[in-house]
Amino acid sequence: MIVDLGKVELQNAQLTVLSSYWFGLFTNNWTVSSGTILSDLTEAGWTGYSRQSGGSWTSAMLVGPMAQSRAGTLPIFSNTSGGSVTFYGWFMVTLSSGGILVAAENIGSTTIPDGDVYVLAPAITDTQE
């Protein structure tokens, strides 16, 4: 069993690696599972969109029975396409282009109006589902 302080210690050890990963958005209504791979997701491609760096993360702390870190720099996705765009979820990968899928979540149909942004507020725990 990993004890509470051990959970925090292990997650803090991962923060440097997390800061080197990249966030993106996907536009297909994919049901994310433990077997999902990057090619299952259709990455957004509208004007103004680009993958965003994982940036800094807060030190892990216990939230209930799990260790949790939050993005210190929130990924911001822009839409300058001339019309509204829709996406279904976000993903985290190891490289700015391509890479290995680390995490993903389908948050449901979400629209970004032209000239607006979507701000992602990711959190990582030691017991992601």
Global confidence as pTM: 0.91
| Tens-digit pLDDT profile for residues 11-59 | 999 999 999 999 999 999 999 999 999 999 999 999 999 999 999 999 9
Is it the case that residue 1 has pLDDT exceeding 90? no
| Tens-digit pLDDT profile for residues 68-77 | 999 999 999 9
| Tens-digit pLDDT profile for residues 75-122 | 999 999 999 999 999 999 999 888 999 999 999 999 999 999 999 999
Q: How many CA atoms lie within 13 A of 76 on its CB side?
A: 7
| CA triple 10-72-101, angle to 5 deg | 65
Is it the case that residue 128 has pLDDT exceeding 80? no
